[in-house]
Amino acid sequence: MSRSEQILNLRPEVNVKSSQGIEAFQNVTLRPILKFQHPLTLAFLDKSSRYTKVLKAEMPKGIYHDKVLTILRSDQALRNMVIGAVIGMMTVDEYTTYQEFTKEYNRRIITMQAQRYADTAYPS
């Protein structure tokens, strides 16, 4: 079994409607990887000094999401670890696609990760 097959078999299924282009890559590749890597990326956030200083107090989910998003955008080390955790779970073909729109995919990774953190801290 090839590396690509092994990686694809590890990913959880994520139910999203079909789409095309950048959104398709987000839904087919990025979302399952973020779901699979969530325990690891959550550990990254827990070890972030900015997180522990800012997000210890109780706050509404929307404010929490905005603060986490700000941390992910400003803490370059945390941002790079999250993006690296995603890239490390890509196949070579997916990485080639990622390289076409790196800036846009990184923005989407960070935005989706902030939402995952908020959903974990404030489950429905």
- pLDDT greater than 90 at residue 122: no
Q: Which pTM value belongs to this model?
A: 0.90
Q: How confident is the model at residue 55 (pLDDT cuts 50, 70, 90)?
A: low
- Would you state the structure tokens that stand for residue 23, as one six-digit string? 């959104």
Q: Which residue has the higher pLDDT, 15 or 41?
A: 41
According to the model, what pLDDT value does residue 16 have? 82
According to the model, what pLDDT value does residue 123 have? 78
The per-residue pLDDT for range 67-119, each reduced to its tens digit, is 889 999 999 999 999 999 999 999 999 999 999 999 999 999 999 999 999 89
According to the model, what pLDDT value does residue 31 have? 97
Residues 6 or more apart whose CB falls under 8 angstroms from that of 62 comprise: none
According to the model, what pLDDT value does residue 56 have? 57
Distances (CA, A) of 77 to 9, 48, 107, 109: 29, 9, 15, 15
The amino acid occupying position 15 is N
According to the model, what pLDDT value does residue 4 have? 94
Distances (CA, A) of 18 to 21, 24, 99: 10, 7, 22
